[in-house]
């Protein structure tokens, strides 16, 4: 598969990177032994991951990006202050043959070996914004700083899962034009977008996720084919709902946080009756669709213009309507849950969802 991979980067401590390099090079099976606390036995082997680390240069350190601090940035600061990274996270960049866009991918290392069925896998859109929020609730291997009570409560029955953040090589948490293009279907009306004129690339982006990125990750991590979850916020939530309605077999769990159902003059809802005539789910599928009450009904409006804007988009009403109609259809194998969260605005729902999709949705039985 002609996938370009360069400017790979890694995160974690220098000591962990050194251990990873040494073990990947000396292990004849090309396995990466994940470092553990010296007082505890080695947790497990990740077959093949040493080869990935070597091929992509993931263990070699963080390269220079536009947003990465340089030596001049920390001139005069203590000598041991350096750019920080996310723990137990690797990353690389690739250019898609389907979209032509360049992506930055974050891979959260699982805390234990997979079940025979493989890892449940969570795919997080707007990965440079959503993944760091989810990262702190991801299970960790047992360390010296954790009490026996903590381990028993938090890790005993926590399933191992794989978290993949899909962001953009620009380094922007929200790359306005790139995400507007990737996450939206071909418009069937005025887009209503105030910030970008690039839309309609959802089909190509889905091919990137399922035909390019997923096979690449699957070379090194066994995935459970019956438990792929998709998390999207705003336009990403629109993409999640659109994928559920058009090609539902690629994921079995969908979390749509504040989906932009107003897009294209509410085209997904206008097209819903026709979609429901042929929509079928071969596997048990869950949809969680959420919205903050303050996105349409705040205690007070900042301005008359903002009031008009929020009332025109009517996102709370649209989410309720979409959930009601999907539930009323009683489609076999589809479970729909809607949450309207009080005292939460649009950005709040990213933080609300990115945590809960890890803790309570993507990796549960």
Structural domains for the chain: 84-360 (3.40.50.1820)
List the beta bridge partners of residue 232.
256
- Give, as one character, the DSSP assignment of residue 159: P
Do 157 and 144 form a contact (C-beta atoms < 8 A)? no
pLDDT given at position 10? 35
Write out pLDDT tens, residues 225-253.
999 999 999 999 999 999 999 999 999 99
**Pairing relationship of beta strands 4-10 and 89-95 according to DSSP bridges:** antiparallel
- Give, as one character, the DSSP assignment of residue 263: H
Q: How far is 118 from 271, CA to CA, in rounded Å?
A: 36
Residues of the chain with pLDDT under 50: 1-66
Q: What is the pTM of this model?
A: 0.81
pLDDT given at position 146? 63
Residue 297, token pair as written in the block: 């009904």
Q: How far is 313 from 234, CA to CA, in rounded Å?
A: 12
pLDDT given at position 73? 73
Q: How far is 32 from 18, CA to CA, in rounded Å?
A: 12
List the beta bridge partners of residue 285.
334
pLDDT given at position 67? 58
Which is nearest to 105 in space by CA: 7, 226, 237, 222?
7
pLDDT given at position 138? 85
- Give the chain's largest Cα–Cα span: 67
Which is nearest to 86 in space by CA: 70, 73, 104, 103?
104
**Residues 6+ away with beta carbon under 8 Å from 346:** 234, 258, 292, 295, 315
């Amino acid at each position: 598969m002609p996938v370009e991979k360069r400017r790979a980067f890694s995160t974690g401590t220098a000591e962990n990177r050194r251990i990873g390099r040494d073990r990947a090079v000396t292990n004849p099976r090309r396995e990466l032994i994940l470092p553990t606390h010296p007082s505890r036995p080695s947790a497990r082997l990740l077959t093949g991951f040493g080869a990935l680390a070597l091929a992509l240069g993931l263990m070699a350190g963080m390269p220079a990006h536009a947003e990465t601090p340089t030596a001049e940035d920390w001139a005069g600061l203590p000598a041991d202050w350096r750019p920080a990274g996310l723990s137990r996270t690797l990353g690389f960049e690739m250019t898609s043959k389907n979209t032509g866009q360049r992506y930055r991918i974050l891979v959260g290392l699982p805390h234990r070996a997979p079940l025979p069925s493989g890892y449940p896998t969570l795919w997080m859109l707007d990965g440079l914004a959503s993944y760091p929020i989810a990262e702190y609730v991801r299970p960790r291997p047992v360390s010296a700083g954790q009490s026996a009570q903590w381990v028993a409560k938090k890790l005993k029955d926590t399933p191992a899962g794989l978290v993949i953040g899909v962001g953009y090589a620009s380094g922007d948490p929200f790359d306005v034009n790139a995400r507007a293009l990737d996450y939206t279907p071909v418009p069937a009306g005025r887009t209503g977008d105030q910030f970008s004129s690039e839309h309609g690339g959802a089909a190509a982006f889905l091919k990137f996720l399922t035909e390019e990125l997923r096979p690449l990750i699957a070379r090194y991590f066994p995935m459970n084919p019956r438990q792929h979850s998709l998390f999207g916020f705003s336009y990403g939530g629109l993409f999640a709902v659109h994928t559920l309605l058009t090609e539902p077999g690629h994921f079995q769990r969908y979390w749509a946080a504040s989906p932009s159902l107003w897009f294209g003059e509410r085209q997904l809802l206008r097209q819903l009756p026709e979609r429901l005539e042929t929509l079928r789910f071969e596997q048990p599928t869950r949809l969680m669709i959420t919205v903050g009450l303050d996105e349409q009904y705040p205690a007070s409006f900042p301005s008359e213009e903002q009031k008009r804007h929020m009332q025109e988009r009517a996102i709370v009403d649209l989410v309720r309507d979409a959930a009601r109609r999907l539930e009323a259809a009683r489609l076999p194998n589809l479970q729909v849950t809607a949450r309207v969260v009080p005292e939460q605005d649009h950005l709040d729902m990213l933080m609300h969802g990115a945590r809960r999709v890890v803790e309570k949705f993507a990796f549960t039985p």
